Amino acid sequence: LPTIATVIGSGTMGPGIAATLARAGATVRLYDISADAITRAEAAYDMVRGVLEAVDSPSAPGGSVTFGTDLDAALADTELIIEAVPEKLELKRSVLADLEARIGDDVIIATNTSGIPISTMAESMTVPARLIGMHWSNPPHLIPMIEVIPGNATAPEHVDRLIEIVKAFNYVPVLEKEIPGFVENRVLYAILRECMALLEEGIVTPEGLDACVKWGIGYKLSVVGPTRLLDMAGLDIYQAVSSYLNKDLDNSTDTPEFIKDKIAAGQLGFKSNGGMYEYGEGDVDAKRKEIITGLIAARKTLASIP
């Protein structure tokens, strides 16, 4: 684990990332350009620490997180920078340039981009070999898997080092080749595309769909991955079904119209008290708690299985 790490951007992802590294023993500096974001991050950090305690995530003494808006102070003697600023290429490029002007050539910069190609981001860099994709899954302090994505120019020793670091805080690193969306989101969006098509065609209700996917797919896939699932089912069975079913699956290339209509009507989900479902007073907070409680319980159970 690096002794000192710096997280740039303390929005949705920053505090959970910082807390995970700190719990494993690193000295972490969480930087944001906005003082308000830092104030919110301090509160989020307390909540995240409670969750890490509840899942009994592996811990080592000596770790800490400090918060601030002074970039030079955040970067002093750092060994690893994790960039988690908003998903806009030009913004990320200017942040990278600003970072590179202040650090030594040996410092690794890991970007938490959800899908901007690492090679594209690295084009404008002085030392493109130091940039590598490190895609955390949200909530980052609960999902113990990280996609590691080298770009064309990433130095192989930085890939090895990042994999070692991820293992050192007891997460599972998944090494991938660069591809739009990376692996996790490609699989998720393939599922979501079919789900939205089934809803649009009125084949199933939202409640029915959620129950079917949660128990029929999610529950099973949380124990065996898709490759092992094929062995369990039998490759011949997969062939028998995929030979007629694959051609019937949705293959649309755009966002479904009914989703666009909801967005136009201001229905965005939890953040607008309504989206796919309607939420009354207090319902969103209750749902958020229910989800975190479920994730904590599931992670503890899954972690206890060898």
CA distances from 102 to 44, 72, 97, 122, 158 (A): 28, 7, 9, 17, 19
Phi, psi of 246 (to 5 degrees): -55, -40
Tokens of 289: 């708690």
Q: Are 97 and 113 in contact (CB under 8 A)?
A: no
Query: Is 21 one of the binding residues for ligand NAD (CB under 6 A)?
Result: no
Q: Which of 46, 56, 70, 87 binds ligand NAD (CB under 6 A)?
A: 87
Query: Is 8 one of the binding residues for ligand NAD (CB under 6 A)?
Result: yes
What crossing angle do the helices spanning 226-233 and 235-245 adopt, rounded to 10°? 100
Site string for ligand NAD, 126-165 (x = CB under 6 A): ----------x-x---------------------------
Residue 254 Cα to chain centre, angstroms? 23
Specify the stretch interacting with ligand NAD by CB under 6 A; choose among 4-12, 51-59, 214-222, 292-300: 4-12
Specify the stretch interacting with ligand NAD by CB under 6 A; choose among 3-11, 170-178, 189-197, 293-301: 3-11
Query: Is 85 one of the binding residues for ligand NAD (CB under 6 A)?
Result: yes
Give the SS3 label for residue 45: helix
Query: Is 18 one of the binding residues for ligand NAD (CB under 6 A)?
Result: no
Q: Are 265 and 20 in contact (CB under 8 A)?
A: no
Query: Is 86 one of the binding residues for ligand NAD (CB under 6 A)?
Result: yes
Query: Is 6 one of the binding residues for ligand NAD (CB under 6 A)?
Result: no
Q: Which of 113, 121, 131, 165 binds ligand NAD (CB under 6 A)?
A: 113
Nearer to ligand NAD (CB atom), residue 10 or residue 78? 10
Cα(121)–Cα(111) distance, rounded to whole angstroms? 9
Residue 219 Cα to chain centre, angstroms? 20
Position with the least CB separation from ligand NAD? 11
Query: Is 37 one of the binding residues for ligand NAD (CB under 6 A)?
Result: yes
Phi, psi of 186 (to 5 degrees): -65, -45
Query: Is 182 one of the binding residues for ligand NAD (CB under 6 A)?
Result: no
Q: How far is the CB of 71 from ligand NAD (least distance, A)?
A: 8
Number of residues that bind ligand NAD (CB under 6 A): 22
Edge-to-edge strand ranges of the sheet holding 172-175: 64-68, 27-31, 4-8, 80-83, 108-111, 131-136, 145-150, 172-175
Q: How far is the CB of 22 from ligand NAD (least distance, A)?
A: 17
Query: Is 20 one of the binding residues for ligand NAD (CB under 6 A)?
Result: no
Residues that bind ligand NAD in the complex, under the rule CB under 6 A: 8-14, 32-34, 37, 84-87, 91, 95, 112-114, 136, 138
